[in-house]
Structure 1
Amino acid sequence: MAWRTLHRNWGMMLIALVFVAGIRSGMFFDGDIYGIGAGFGMLLLLRMAAKRQDGIQGRGIPGAGMISSGLVNSDKGLRVVLGCICGMILMYVLHGVGQPLSLEGTMNEIILWGSYACFTAVAWRISRTGDGLRLMQIGWHLLGAVLCGSALLAVYGLLELPYGIYHTADADISASGARLGGLLQYPNTFGAVMAAFLLERLFALPPVLRTRTGTLRAAAALLPLLPYTAALLLTESRGAWLAAALACAAGFAKERRAFAPLLLAAAAPLASAALLYRQLA
């Protein structure tokens, strides 16, 4: 029971970290990197030190370790992810030992990528339990609702969101003269995030369609497609559009049997989002 409580606490901490990052423009500014990233890393190190001390004294809680050598060695996917992140950190360290143009900027990147490693390892560990996985799913959907909902409310003028909409007279940058950046305040980043949420919901539909669930559950699964698509279109991020299209093509190639029902089910909300984009653009 103790390890479940521990995983729940760490899951809540991860959700809080992601929400703070979303509200603080995706941790774009150096102060946020130092405060949030370094703070989370220190908490993780303290937790690991406490676990080690408990283990020495024979009071360890089974399953309480967030990161352990056994977990890393037994999980190939985690080794690959952490290896890539540690590789990025090593490159910045080697660059910092030389003559970097900005030592402060290099240190910021080391802290940032270190925070990525800590977050990835903890999220991976928590998601290996049923309760932790459900908690992470709740956090994911809440974050998507906050980011997308606040951005669309700002478009309609119902929520004042400073720098949430980027205005420009350059037609090469924006065809409509405005691009949606939301809480992240950067249209390209916001477009990539909305594309990720859209693709997750899109490819979560096949199991719902195959099990022939009730109308309400099917409608709940389809409902997020409209706002996510509208937000993605309003960013006018061509890179995010292209990445989403390529990911869709790869997903449809893998889910060939679900292609037709998925296309029919998603056609209405996606078409509605396109019409909404034309009205708001």
Structure 2
Amino acid sequence: MEEVKSDKKVKWSKSDDRGSLDKIEKLDRATQGMMFSRLLEPALTIVLGLILVVLLLAGCLRRGLFYFTDVYPMVLMASGSALIWLILFMMCFNASKTNGELGISQWLNTLKQLYVALMQYAHLRWMFWPLALAIWFGLHAWIGSVSVQGSLDEMLRWSLLAIFALLTAMLASRANGARWFAYGWQMAGGLLVLSGVLAACGVLPLPYGVMRTADPEISSAGARLGGMLQYPNAYGAVAGMYALERLAAAARAVA
């Protein structure tokens, strides 16, 4: 009888050891997932900030995306960048919740939790307006349109705006994300303004940067500055927007 009791005690001690080892392994996985997510959080902000900076500068270099031939590569670049960032974000979001284990059901659960988390931010809902317009143009092309190609082009343009709005809102909701957007905003504005001034001074050989005309009703000086946008009215509107934004920022700083 004593031998049987001792055997039972040995078995119970082994089972207790296994249970404690399993708990330790689960804790290790959880801590590793938390450390991974903490290390990946700043990297995600940097990647998202660089994506937005590149998109802003590319929009300036591609003549303000006035022509649809310039929109197509931007849509591909923005979609690919958003997809890559979403995968990285889901890896970071999923690491601390699945204890290092990945599966289809866990990924679906992560998508649901991500959707709920996104809807908690009211500013993220603004992206649905350009998305709704993109869907509308797509339906218009599918039902029947006078210009199917024109409807598809507008669908792609508004899809690009929806992707950019989503990335901007996600960046604004992250720590130090507004700084990255401010960097991209200032770099894009500086590129547009300086390129126009240098083209007008003859330093930068920019084709169609300055529109020449002999009609005094169009320009009394005989020339109008178009810059990289190559369209004087659009260039003047964008430059005026940047000037007003800087004046408002200076007023806030003084106040």
- TM-score normalized by structure 1? 0.65
CA–CA separation in structure 2 for the residues paired with 1:47 and 1:9? 7
Q: SS of 1:172's equivalent?
A: coil
Structure 1 counterpart of 2:226: 181
Higher relative contact order (CA 8 A, sep 6+): 2
* Pair member with larger Rg: 2
Identify the match of residue 140 of structure 1 among 185, 188, 202: 185
Q: For each residue in 1:19-76, what CA deviation from the matched residue of structure 2 results, as whole angstroms up to 9, or x when unmatched?
A: 111011012233321112123113323443565577399359xxxx9x9423542222
Query: In 2 relative to 1, CA 46–13 (structure 1 residues): closer, same or farther, beyond 3 Å?
Result: closer
Q: Shift of the alpha carbon at 1:139?
A: 1.6
Q: What is the aligned residue count?
A: 205
Structure 2 counterpart of 1:20: 58
Structure 1: runs of 5+ lacking an equivalent: 211-281
Query: In 2 relative to 1, CA 117–36 (structure 1 residues): closer, same or farther, beyond 3 Å?
Result: same
Q: Does the Cα contact within 8 Å between 2:128 and 2:162 map onto a contact in 1?
A: no
Structure 2: runs of 5+ lacking an equivalent: 1-38, 103-110
CA–CA separation in structure 2 for the residues paired with 1:176 and 1:148? 20
Structure 2 counterpart of 1:43: 81
Query: In 2 relative to 1, CA 78–52 (structure 1 residues): closer, same or farther, beyond 3 Å?
Result: closer
CA–CA separation in structure 1 for the residues paired with 2:183 and 2:232? 25
Q: For each residue in 1:178-226, what CA deviation from the matched residue of structure 2 results, as whole angstroms up to 9, or x when unmatched?
A: 211101111122122112211110011123223xxxxxxxxxxxxxxxx
Structure 2 counterpart of 1:104: 149
Q: How does 1:76-225 map to 2 (within 5 A)?
A: 76-79=122-125, 81-210=126-255
Counterpart AA for 1:172: E
Counterpart AA for 1:101: V
Structure 1 counterpart of 2:19: none
CA–CA separation in structure 1 for the residues paired with 2:198 and 2:89? 45
Structure 2 counterpart of 1:2: 40
Q: SS of 1:166's equivalent?
A: strand
Q: Does the Cα contact within 8 Å between 2:47 and 2:85 map onto a contact in 1?
A: no
CA–CA separation in structure 2 for the residues paired with 1:192 and 1:37? 24
CA–CA separation in structure 2 for the residues paired with 1:118 and 1:186? 25
- TM-score normalized by structure 2? 0.71
Q: For each residue in 1:96-120, what CA deviation from the matched residue of structure 2 results, as whole angstroms up to 9, or x when unmatched?
A: 0233233222222111111111111
Q: Shift of the alpha carbon at 1:87?
A: 2.4
- Seq. identity, %: 29
Q: Shift of the alpha carbon at 1:153?
A: 1.1
